[in-house]
A and B are shown apart, each in its own frame.
Chain A
Amino acid sequence: AQSVAQPEDQVNVAEGNPLTVKCTYSVSGNPYLFWYVQYPNRGLQFLLKYITGDNLVKGSYGFEAEFNKSQTSFHLKKPSALVSDSALYFCAVRDMRTGGFKTIFGAGTRLFVKA
């Protein structure tokens, strides 16, 4: 069965410092991987996705993520955090070998960026 894990409930980082939000996945086939962000009182917004090709994927708002097949990870990164990046981040996976119709979301990681 497909699953996705976000091992940290919360990540704290100072403004200007690099940030990493971790995600690992488990699928039986090739994964399609996504990151979404949720700001307070808002729905989830798409940040970036990995389907195939270059392992480093660039997305919105300066975020990027690195796909690592051997470690089954898809960590979200940003070189320099902003206070406005504070939000809830969700990693998601689709297992295309089993049909891919379900997007399974991780539990979410709350990012706090301090000024």
Chain B
Amino acid sequence: DSGVTQTPKHLITATGQRVTLRCSPRSGDLSVYWYQQSLDQGLQFLIQYYNGEERAKGNILERFSAQQFPDLHSELNLSSLELGDSALYFCASSPIPAQISGANVLTFGAGSRLTVL
């Protein structure tokens, strides 16, 4: 157990629907990162939060949004889902953001597998 908790583990939904993925970072970690892993795109960085504030954006679609709450858990919202959104979504955390310490290591959760039918 890495200490990063992601729910749900599996999710099956239909095109056009909206889902929310949840992440609780490892105790003491202030920064949260979201990644999407698909067979054809590999591991893609989506977005990063630090202490409740967005710090970096990657290849995140406009249909997707995220936030980090005061208790430091984070949610990734995916709307108007398309078949191509089917993927594994990983959350990772680190004590402080890479902007401050580039040497810090990411701790990953087990992922949420989203299937869009």
Contacts and interface: CB of A to CB of B under 8 A. Distances in A.
Interface of A: 32, 34, 36, 41-46, 49, 51, 90, 94, 96, 99-108
B108 A41 contact: no
B106 interface: yes
Contact of A46 (B42, B99, B107): B107
B12 interface: no
A11 B48 CA distance: 32
B45 A104 contact: yes
Q: When A and B form their complex, which 9 residue pairs have the shortest distance between CB atoms, in order from nearest?
A: A43-B108, A100-B102, A105-B43, A101-B56, A107-B42, A44-B108, A46-B105, A101-B99, A51-B103
Given A43-B90, A108-B43, A101 B108 contact: no
B108 A45 contact: yes
Given A43-B2, A44-B90, A45-B108, A102 B103 contact: no
Contacts of B4: 43
A45 B43 contact: no
Q: How large is the interface on B (under 10, 10 to 19, 20 to 34, 35 or more residues)?
A: 20 to 34
Interface of B: 2, 4, 33, 35, 42-43, 45, 48, 55-56, 58, 90, 92, 97-99, 102-103, 105-111
Given A90-B43, A94-B98, A102 B106 contact: no
A58 B72 CA distance: 33
Given A43-B90, A45-B2, A108-B43, A101 B97 contact: yes
Contacts of A41: 110
A69 B107 CA distance: 27
19 contacts: A32-B102, A41-B110, A43-B2, A43-B90, A43-B110, A44-B108, A46-B106, A51-B103, A94-B98, A101-B48, A101-B55, A101-B97, A102-B45, A102-B98, A103-B33, A103-B106, A105-B35, A105-B45, A108-B42
A95 to B, nearest CB: 9
